[in-house]
Amino acid sequence: MTILNKITTYKKLEVAARKAAFPVSVLKQSTLFDRTCFSMAKSVSEGSGIIAEHKRRSPSKSVINENILLPEVVKGYETAGVSAISVLTDTKFFGGSLDDLLLARACVQIPLLRKEFIIDSYQIYEAKAYGADAILLIAACLDESQLQEYAALAKELGMDVLLEIHNEYELKKSLHPSVDLLGVNNRNLKTFEVSLEASKALSKLIPDSYIKVSESGISNIEAIKELQPYGFKGFLIGERFMKTENPGKSATEFIRQLM
């Protein structure tokens, strides 16, 4: 069983429990549910393009940074000039939580992406209720009808959609009008090896109507410069900043070099 299978299997149990405790009718009563979202697509295409992540740990790297407090991280990212912040809300495998999303929303005024393994429409209502501006859909976890349904629901709730793909097969089932950003994950989910060649190869097949985002393995300016000629506007950076003592300062220096 791959790590993705393990995560989604557990996620189904987790979501069922949350649904029973907090039905959608309760989520809709959140003070954040009716707020107007910031456009992640607009911010990425017009700004630095950096989507900086708050991530404490991961299945592949174990502990990344569990010492620094979330407000310090996200405020540092905002000051640095990132286009958006990705907040991991998975607890079991990544050490995050929905409370992290809520706290981030209270701290910054830029787009927040709920980084989660979405396998149920319930999680999209959750994202909206906890202050997300955009959601991540992973093509490897969902069939085409689910991708279409979940993307449409997110748009209905006023959020943008980043749809993540790994190969041409996943790309073909992901080309829906409700998708704003198409992300190519450079990490092979079976081997966990990372190569920018994945982004380069798939870039030619992604229509220009989507904002192209490259994910994983982006740890230096050279990688971004290498990908920009292929039409990539967004770059999700998950560990480069978090593994330092001061993620905000690290992001500031990175963006200063990039610009």
pTM of the model: 0.96
Task: Indicate the pLDDT class of residue 67, thresholds 50, 70 and 90.
Answer: confident
Question: Where is average pLDDT lowest: 61-75, 162-176, 226-240?
Answer: 61-75
Angle between helical axes of 122-129 and 3-21 (0-180°, round to 10) = 70
The helix/strand/coil state of 6 is helix
- The catalytic residue among 11, 39, 86, 115 is 115
- The catalytic residue among 78, 116, 126, 164 is 164
Task: Work out the mean pLDDT of the chain and round it to a whole number.
Answer: 95
Model confidence pLDDT, tens digit, residues 175-215 = 999 999 999 999 877 677 889 999 999 999 999 999 999 99
Is residue 55 annotated as a catalytic residue, yes or no? yes
- The catalytic residue among 39, 43, 48, 55 is 55
- The catalytic residue among 39, 48, 216, 250 is 216
Helix, strand, coil in percent for the chain, rounding step 5? 40, 20, 40
Task: Indicate the pLDDT class of residue 1, thresholds 50, 70 and 90.
Answer: low
Task: Indicate the pLDDT class of residue 226, thresholds 50, 70 and 90.
Answer: very high
**87 lies in which domain range?**
3-258
Residue 118, pLDDT score: 98
Is residue 216 annotated as a catalytic residue, yes or no? yes
Element (H, E) at 251: helix 247-258
Residue 66, pLDDT > 70, answer yes
Number of domains in the chain: 1
The dihedral over CA atoms of 77, 69, 113, 185, expressed in degrees to the nearest 10, equals 80
Model confidence pLDDT, tens digit, residues 103-132 = 999 999 999 999 999 999 999 999 999 999
CA nearest to 212, candidates 228, 194, 188 = 228
Is residue 185 annotated as a catalytic residue, yes or no? yes
CATH number at residue 39: 3.20.20.70
Is residue 215 annotated as a catalytic residue, yes or no? yes
Is residue 65 annotated as a catalytic residue, yes or no? no
Is residue 233 annotated as a catalytic residue, yes or no? no
- The catalytic residue among 39, 215, 233, 239 is 215
CA nearest to 86, candidates 216, 252, 203, 250 = 216
Model confidence pLDDT, tens digit, residues 231-249 = 999 999 988 999 999 999 9
